[in-house]
Amino acid sequence: MARPLHQIVARNTDPCHPLIGDQVMRVASLTIVVALMLASMSTSLGAKGGEDDAIVAIVALMRETWERPDAPLSVTPVVVDGDYAIADWTQGDQGGRALLAYREDGWRVVLCAGEGLKDVAVLHEAGLSVEQATRLVAALNEAERAIEPERLQLIASFQGLVSMDETPRESSQGGAHLHGHSGSDHE
């Protein structure tokens, strides 16, 4: 029967003692295995990190882009599904929703709208699968249950669809996605 390490160390303080060396090697090996497991887990999250990291990055992007000293921007809730997210925002007496996509260089606002971003067909046209669009709308509906009615009305008041994406992508049907729609802007 193997003795606990503290008993071995208490009796044998010589690091060259064979039992001490074996115990040190086992601990070192276990440490290396755990470190490798943690490293592989962190790289499997990809460059964008987890959902909390995505939300922090999205809020920071939107505030950096549109917040002004005289007009703070409130960005909440934010719901994320894979490489897409929808963020509700209000600024003064304006509000709306932003569809964001994660690209090689980080999160980017693709589309701004009001109620339009709760339409699965609009999200599908913007590049999401029907399944992903359905999940995102369901998550948004759930998150918006906690919003006070006045703020929700302000968010819904955004008129039209405004494409913020600089490069149109071709849909599977061959047309450009949602470019040329007019509406309000964030300012």
Q: Are residues 27 and 115 in the same domain?
A: no
Residues present in the chain in total: 187
Integer Cα distance of 140 and 135 in angstroms: 9
Integer Cα distance of 179 and 73 in angstroms: 25
Q: Are residues 33 and 109 in the same domain?
A: no
Residue 1 has what pLDDT? 57
Full domain range(s) for residue 128:
51-163
Q: Are residues 73 and 137 in the same domain?
A: yes
Q: Is residue 27, in this structure, part of any structural domain at all?
A: yes
Q: Are residues 134 and 71 in the same domain?
A: yes
Q: Are residues 9 and 85 in the same domain?
A: no
Q: Are residues 66 and 22 in the same domain?
A: no
Integer Cα distance of 181 and 178 in angstroms: 7
Q: Is residue 31, in this structure, part of any structural domain at all?
A: yes
Residue 130 has what pLDDT? 98
Q: Are residues 70 and 155 in the same domain?
A: yes
CB atoms within 10 A of CB 96: 27
Q: Whole-model pTM?
A: 0.65
Per-residue pLDDT 10s for the chain (187 aa) are: 555 544 544 455 455 555 555 554 454 444 443 343 433 333 333 345 688 999 999 999 999 999 999 999 999 999 999 999 999 999 999 999 999 999 999 999 999 999 999 999 999 999 999 999 999 999 999 999 999 999 999 999 999 999 997 644 443 333 333 333 334 444 4
Q: Is residue 81, in this structure, part of any structural domain at all?
A: yes
